[in-house]
Amino acid sequence: EPEVTQTPSHQVTQMGQEVILRCVPISNHLYFYWYRQILGQKVEFLVSFYNNEISEKSEIFDDQFSVERPDGSNFTLKIRSTKLEDSAMYFCASSEGWAGPGEQFFGPGTRLTVL
């Protein structure tokens, strides 16, 4: 069964460093998303991406964040200068189409630890 994959599974970085989290969405899906979950808290939407551009973003997704689809399979989230409060699980998700209920399927996540 097709699935969303993410690398790395765990990333440790120093405050102020740049990190890139990588995702490979399900191959026939057209819509891609990033969510995050701080330990013990809700899953929060960050950004959605369609047709090589951002469709929506939350107030969390400030200028420190960017997304890119550098090739036909990868979807990346970059955090330019990490802060302690960026420590969280980051989930990539994808969905097939815009119409209809639009089920989103989640990858296994990247645990980001900022020291």
Partner 1 sequence: QKEVEQNSGPLSVPEGAIASLNCTYSDRGSQSFFWYRQYSGKSPELIMFIYSNGDKEDGRFTAQLNKASQYVSLLIRDSQPSDSATYLCAVFGDTGRRALTFGSGTRLQVQP
| Residues contacting partner 1: total by CB under 8 A | 25
Smallest gap from Cβ 16 to partner 1, in A, equals 27
**95-114 b/e (C-beta count within 10 Å ≥ 16 → b):** beeeeeeeebbebebbbbeb
Residue 58 interacts with partner 1 (CB under 8 A)? yes
Binders in 15-44 for partner 1, by CB under 8 A = 31, 33, 35, 41-44
Task: Tally the C-alpha atoms within 13 A of residue 92's C-alpha that lie toward its C-beta.
Answer: 29
Residue 98 interacts with partner 1 (CB under 8 A)? yes
Using CB under 8 A, which of the segments 12-20, 21-29, 68-76, 94-102 binds partner 1?
A: 94-102
What is the radius of gyration, based on Cα positions, of the chain? 13
Q: Provide the token pair at 92.
A: 């990539």
Residue 106 interacts with partner 1 (CB under 8 A)? yes
